[in-house]
Amino acid sequence: MSEVQTVENMVTITIDGIEYKAKEGEYILNAARANDVFIPAICYLTRCSPTLACRICLVEADGKQVYACNAKVKEGMEITVDTPTILEERRAIMEVYDVNHPLQCGVCDKHGECELQNYTLEMEVDSQHYAIRDTDRPVTNWSSVLHYDGSLCIVCERCTTVCKDMIGDSAITTTKRGGDALDKGYKESMPKDAYAMWNKLQKSLIAPSNGTDQTNCSDCGECIAVCPVGALVSRDFMYKSNPWDLTRVPAVAAHSSDGAHIYYEVKPAGIEDRTLKIYRVTNEWNYVSLDGSARFAYDFENRGVTKDKAAFDAAVEAIKKAETIRFNAMITNEEALMLQTLKEKMGKKLFNPEVRAFQKFLEAYKAASGRSLWSTDTDSIMKKSDFVISVGSALRHDSPAMKYAFNNVQKMNKGAGLYFHTIEDTLIEGFGKTVECFAHKPGLEEAALYLVLDLFADKEKLPEDVKTYLESFKRTESKTVTETVEKTVKETVLNEETGEEEEVSKKVKEKVEKEITVSKNGLVELLGKDSEKFDEALAKMLKKKEKFSMMIGEDLYYHPMAENLAKLVALIEATCDIDVVMAPTKSNALGVALICDLDDAQSGYTVGYNENGDFRLSALGDGDLDMPAMNQQEGTLTNINKRVLPTNAAVDYEGYELNDLMKELTGAPELTVDWTEKLPADKGFRAVKFDDLPNSFGNDGSDNRGYRLDVKTQEAALPEVEKFDENGMLEGEIAYRCNPARQFNDFTDKSHEIFEAFGLYTSKEKAEALGERVEVLFDNGSITLDVIVDDKMRGDIMKISDFKAAKGVYDLFGETRYKTVTIRKV
């Protein structure tokens, strides 16, 4: 399949006398926002469902008052944003919001960027007409990062909406406030909508949805970002700085492969220390949602570095002497190109266990499909898909963008989803009623892809052998079912009144045993589900579905049969109407995979760049030569959406960088970013200067950052796929290489707002069986870990973190993600 631009039906609407084009079926508010027209609104988030909490988006459409956030545009619709009655409503609503709202703006973190302040001024509220007795609304900390002040909360429900519709955690909800009832007199004296809104407001507050006072969520902090007032703030940022003092540096979130657009907000560290410090990370929350690592793992810079000439000279010598350079995915495209230059000019081996498997998978995919990269991206899935399939990805941990897209499709597009993974995840099951989760045995990922082929492929296009192979799993069984049938029975009864016998017909329920034939799909059963029930569920799921997408995750790259899996993915793309997106393993894995020719193993003297090695270049501050961390350098990163994105330096760095080493070794241009235009064009990069790269979103949310990689296509025959080994599943104690959410690498670990520990994560039952601390024995070594309960997973598989490079978890797992291990209690 190719990237076909579907021409959406556009309609013409008139707002305040000016004509605009809008997508058919779009909400008026979104259409206005896309066209840069201002309609006041507090509670509505562009990519989430309308909550109708604030009611100030009231507009007049074709003579009728409607809420712009939930009324859809129609051809020729005439919209007036302000009419006298609407202005009166809006002013009354803002007055109501100001009732009992604390007036100590000076000590509020939102002071200066507060939507309540802004709209109070916008609606010219200069006096108050309403009053009610205040209720005690306490200040609580919901988690290690969330701070909630109920007295500042205006219950716009943006936090609950984004948590449910975008993030998927549904960790917070509205709760009872226990406030007084409104004075009856207001019903007559107040504008109607303002009264209704106040009535609802007076009844609710926000609280964790699990009934306790602690949220049990991924701590992504998106609720903090969307809060229009100072009710929800980060515990760390609390009272540290006023927003206007902070300078925003646009950058790319460095840890996951989402490449989300963020702003590092910096100002001097203090009165005595005038070096810049990052105080927080913010985002354009109407266009992009961050995960916890993007928002909270920001202070990983290499501080206090100066130019150490001796170390620099030693580094030059070390690289000259080295046989291998070992690095990971946390590297810019420019630096990756430098390392590739070292390989080309000096014959160094490049070893990158985080990326190599992904690169091989991509190569196999390219050979099989003729396309250099996958066909869709998470943004398009969010906007268009209504059926998503996820295979081989621990959605909650691996790729936040995929998790958000999977969830958003369920909530916003009335979508359905299939989730194939080895670990049962209670969170994903709860994304929607039409989400079917397959918890299959590790090693059966091929079966999952075959099942997708079976369910969705155009059978005409499928090769004969695949068709027969798929058919071989089907069987029909005869089965006896008991059915209840209603029968009419005639009886003769004695009529007591007349004493005569009468014939009466009566309806009687009767159970009948019946022999029926059912078709069963062996693939479904192999993957751990009841075939019949699944067929029923699937029939429901497929109703009114038009756009299908599939997400491919890391399990497939680290599979012994990865090549066959890549071919299967290509075959699915060729024969089914399904778009595919693949999650690059971490950070800039895609950039590294495209730019570097990686080697399979390391040998000899090794220079490690943020990795283990005989000589260590490190941005973590513990190496032989210091390097700048990702928030200290400019450059480009490549993300899951196939975009090359510019990132800027947020804090100062005084030491040497890789480009300085390159100047000594092979000769290099003046600046690191001078390499940007040299990125390989045959891999899809473009010769654009770094300073010419745009970095913004369109009003309609279109991503205009950097540029999209050119996807090279060539004709390719249908790939020949192999059958899979039905007994190829792993048995016994199984370890799975998987990080806790928010942890990706040593840099996230270094950040002071990330608390997730390095350890062995498993379900509650398993953890009880294991005890507090265990030694996990692999074929080639062992590791001792604390056992930590992950209450959202079920089953016996144990997740082992890999974010600490020094622990060498990648070496233990080798080229697989699942390993059979032996557990010894410590």
Partner 1 sequence: MSLEQFKNRNVGTQHYKMLDLGESPKTPWCRFKRVMKRTFKGELFVGLWVTMREMINALFRGEMHTVKYPFEKLPISPRYRAIHEMLRLLESGHYRCIGCGLCEKICISNCIAMETRYDENQRKEVSEYTINFGRCIFCGYCAEVCPELAIVHGPRYENASEQRASFALFEDMLTPIDKLNLQQEYPGFGAPTPYADENIKKTPLAY
Residues forming contacts to partner 1 in the complex (CB under 8 A) are 104-107, 111, 126-133, 139, 180, 183, 235, 238-242, 244-245, 270-271
**Identity of the residue, 104 or 505, whose beta carbon is nearer to partner 1 in the bound complex:** 104
Q: Which stretch of DSSP H or E encloses residue 279?
A: strand 276-282
**Identity of the residue, 107 or 601, whose beta carbon is nearer to partner 1 in the bound complex:** 107
E strands in 621-687: 625-626, 635-638, 643-647
User: Residues 796, 766: contact at Cβ < 8 Å?
Assistant: yes
CA angle 630, 656, 335 (to 5 degrees): 50
Please, what is the minimum distance in Å from the beta carbon of residue 770 to partner 1? 38
Please, what is the minimum distance in Å from the beta carbon of residue 187 to partner 1? 16
User: Residues 340, 662: contact at Cβ < 8 Å?
Assistant: no
Token pair belonging to 79: 């919209």
Token pair belonging to 806: 């020094």
Please, what is the minimum distance in Å from the beta carbon of residue 783 to partner 1? 38
Give 580's DSSP letter: E
**Identity of the residue, 269 or 788, whose beta carbon is nearer to partner 1 in the bound complex:** 269
Would you say the C-alpha torsion 474, 475, 480, 485 has a positive or negative sign? positive
Please, what is the minimum distance in Å from the beta carbon of residue 198 to partner 1? 13
**Identity of the residue, 128 or 822, whose beta carbon is nearer to partner 1 in the bound complex:** 128
Please, what is the minimum distance in Å from the beta carbon of residue 149 to partner 1? 9
For 731, other C-beta atoms within 10 Å of its C-beta total 10
Cα separation values, 583 from 402, 422, 454, 641, Å = 8, 17, 24, 9
Measured between alpha carbons, how far is 148 from 137 in angstroms, rounded to an integer? 10
**Identity of the residue, 116 or 620, whose beta carbon is nearer to partner 1 in the bound complex:** 116
**Amino acid at residue number 16:** D
Q: Which stretch of DSSP H or E encloses residue 276?
A: strand 276-282
**Identity of the residue, 38 or 244, whose beta carbon is nearer to partner 1 in the bound complex:** 244
Contact partners, residue 595, CB within 8 Å, separation at least 6:
333, 336, 337, 340, 679, 680, 683
**Amino acid at residue number 633:** Q
**Amino acid at residue number 806:** A
What count of residues does the chain have? 826
Please, what is the minimum distance in Å from the beta carbon of residue 606 to partner 1? 44
Please, what is the minimum distance in Å from the beta carbon of residue 186 to partner 1? 11
User: Residues 274, 204: contact at Cβ < 8 Å?
Assistant: no
Measured between alpha carbons, how far is 607 from 808 in angstroms, rounded to an integer? 15
**Identity of the residue, 126 or 715, whose beta carbon is nearer to partner 1 in the bound complex:** 126
The angle, 0 to 180 degrees and rounded to 10, between the axes of the packed helices 192-201 and 84-98 is 20
User: Residues 72, 27: contact at Cβ < 8 Å?
Assistant: yes
**Identity of the residue, 104 or 714, whose beta carbon is nearer to partner 1 in the bound complex:** 104
Please, what is the minimum distance in Å from the beta carbon of residue 2 to partner 1? 53
| Phi/psi of residue 22, nearest 5 degrees | -140, 155
**Identity of the residue, 268 or 680, whose beta carbon is nearer to partner 1 in the bound complex:** 268
Q: Beta strands 78-80 and 10-15: pairing type?
A: parallel
Please, what is the minimum distance in Å from the beta carbon of residue 96 to partner 1? 13
Please, what is the minimum distance in Å from the beta carbon of residue 113 to partner 1? 13
Please, what is the minimum distance in Å from the beta carbon of residue 746 to partner 1? 28
For 388-402, b where at least 16 C-beta lie within 10 A, e where not — what string? bbbbbbbbbbbbbbb
Please, what is the minimum distance in Å from the beta carbon of residue 106 to partner 1? 3
Measured between alpha carbons, how far is 631 from 301 in angstroms, rounded to an integer? 6
Measured between alpha carbons, how far is 295 from 289 in angstroms, rounded to an integer? 10
**Identity of the residue, 129 or 414, whose beta carbon is nearer to partner 1 in the bound complex:** 129
**Identity of the residue, 183 or 622, whose beta carbon is nearer to partner 1 in the bound complex:** 183
| Phi/psi of residue 185, nearest 5 degrees | -60, -25
Please, what is the minimum distance in Å from the beta carbon of residue 150 to partner 1? 13
| Phi/psi of residue 771, nearest 5 degrees | 90, -165
Token pair belonging to 676: 């940007």
Please, what is the minimum distance in Å from the beta carbon of residue 177 to partner 1? 15
Please, what is the minimum distance in Å from the beta carbon of residue 194 to partner 1? 15
User: Residues 31, 44: contact at Cβ < 8 Å?
Assistant: no
Cα separation values, 457 from 248, 527, 674, Å = 48, 19, 46
Please, what is the minimum distance in Å from the beta carbon of residue 752 to partner 1? 15
Please, what is the minimum distance in Å from the beta carbon of residue 759 to partner 1? 30
Measured between alpha carbons, how far is 356 from 362 in angstroms, rounded to an integer? 10
Cα separation values, 42 from 227, 230, 604, Å = 10, 14, 61
Give 710's DSSP letter: P
**Identity of the residue, 38 or 239, whose beta carbon is nearer to partner 1 in the bound complex:** 239
**Identity of the residue, 277 or 817, whose beta carbon is nearer to partner 1 in the bound complex:** 277
User: Residues 783, 753: contact at Cβ < 8 Å?
Assistant: no
Q: In a 3-state reduction of DSSP, which class is residue 734?
A: strand
**Identity of the residue, 178 or 560, whose beta carbon is nearer to partner 1 in the bound complex:** 178
**Identity of the residue, 201 or 578, whose beta carbon is nearer to partner 1 in the bound complex:** 201
**Identity of the residue, 104 or 498, whose beta carbon is nearer to partner 1 in the bound complex:** 104
**Identity of the residue, 80 or 118, whose beta carbon is nearer to partner 1 in the bound complex:** 118
Closest CA to 482 of 460, 511, 457, 520: 511
